A and B are shown apart, each in its own frame.
Chain A
Amino acid sequence: MHARTDADAPPSWPDEIFAVLERFEVRQVPYVPDAGHSQLIKRVLASSAMRGIPLTTEEEGVALLAGAWAGGQRGVLLMQSSGVGNCINMLSLIPILRFPFLTLVTMRGEWGEFNPWQVPMGSTTQGVFELSGVHVLRASHAAEVPAVLEAAAAQAYNALTPTAVLLSQRLIGAKVFTK
């Protein structure tokens, strides 16, 4: 099991995600912070082409992306698995308005989880998406992140296929709690 520690060198996959988003001309990046997204959020906030938009709850991001589409911009929603449950009713906008939906979800409650409170929502994240009509792709290893992102962005923006990429806890590293 890989555990996150401050001593680790930063991984390269968040930068690779950023590069794919740049190439697809993503402009609006709503997010509820998660440690697994912190490096990507920093890149977004430092970017002149993308706008990072902190949310109070994840469902705001679904509605925001509908508005962005009406205004001709692409967006991507960054959140943690627990936030997926907060989105459920708002996900109904996606088939109704048929706008390109891409979300990147950092997973908790799976590989080596310490906190039992993360497990119920982490266990149902994929099912919730699939029941809501959102296709799920998963990246479990750093080497596969660029190809998964590329495929997800292509099908979301080119084919209007609502897509969630689950960035697995195995990829991110289980959060370590120390006293």
Chain B
Amino acid sequence: MSKTNLLDRRRVVAALLANRKDVVAIGGLGASTNDITAAGDHARNFYLWGGMGGAAMIGLGLALALPKLPVLVITGDGEMLMGMGSLATIGLQKPANLSIVVLDNERYGETGGQTSHTSAVADLVGVAKACGIPDSRAISTMAEVEAFAASVHDVSAGPRFANVKIDSAELTRILPTRDGTYIVNRLRGDLGFPPI
């Protein structure tokens, strides 16, 4: 089912990463990681193929380790719901260089399109705000996406959270490498860390 007033997920992610500079992008399990791949493979892409619920926490660990590095987590509503407590953990730590975007299609798109809690009751912007992330926005236009993308580079004003309502249409899967050790070591190398 497709609604014309909802944003296209690929356009949203392409806009988030269009002028990425040194941004590290962490893609949550599911279509989000494919959207990041569709925008272009990059040494600073951290693709997740598992660990559902962990994307925001991986972002926190990286953001705390490198406070000058802009870290952008891009994930889906189902993945965020599974790690909702991590919003409270992030709200407590207040990493100024961490941004989280939820691509919210109100569905578990990878498993048959079953509706998620955001389709009926759960307001992730409200949750993020209530967990101590005051800069939490509901985004419904590309102009707002572009403004958020620009703010990601400001590593002194986060954490920030955005929930983007997107079209639930299924798109061609564009799959990144599934080799986790390669993905993380490529990222470490690009950040200047040698192998052990």
Contact = CB atoms under 8 A, between A and B. Distances in A.
Interface of A: 27-28, 51, 53-57, 59-73, 75, 89-90, 92-93, 96-99, 158, 160
Q: Is the interface of A mostly helix, strand, loop or mixed?
A: helix
A59 B59 CA distance: 14
B51 A63 contact: yes
B187 A53 contact: no
B54 interface: yes
Given A63-B55, A75-B61, 4 more contacts: A55-B85, A66-B58, A71-B69, A89-B51
A109 to B, nearest CB: 24
B2 interface: no
A26 to B, nearest CB: 12
A67 to B, nearest CB: 3
Nearest to B185: A98
Contacts of A60: 54, 57, 83, 85-86, 89
B184 A71 contact: no
Interface of B: 24, 26, 46, 50-55, 57-66, 69, 83, 85-86, 88-89, 92-93, 180-181, 183-184, 187-188, 191-193, 196
Contact of B46 (A51, A59, A70): A70
A99 B193 contact: no
Q: Is the interface of B mostly helix, strand, loop or mixed?
A: helix
B64 A63 contact: no
Give the interface centre of A28, A71, A75 by most chain B CB atoms within 10 Å: A71
Nearest to A100: B196
Given A93-B50, A93-B54, A64 B61 contact: yes
Given A56-B85, A56-B88, A64-B57, A98 B181 contact: yes
A53 B61 CA distance: 10
Give the interface centre of B54, B59, B86 by most chain A CB atoms within 10 Å: B54
Contact of B50 (A59, A71, A92): A92
Nearest to B67: A71
Contact of B184 (A54, A59, A61, A97): A97
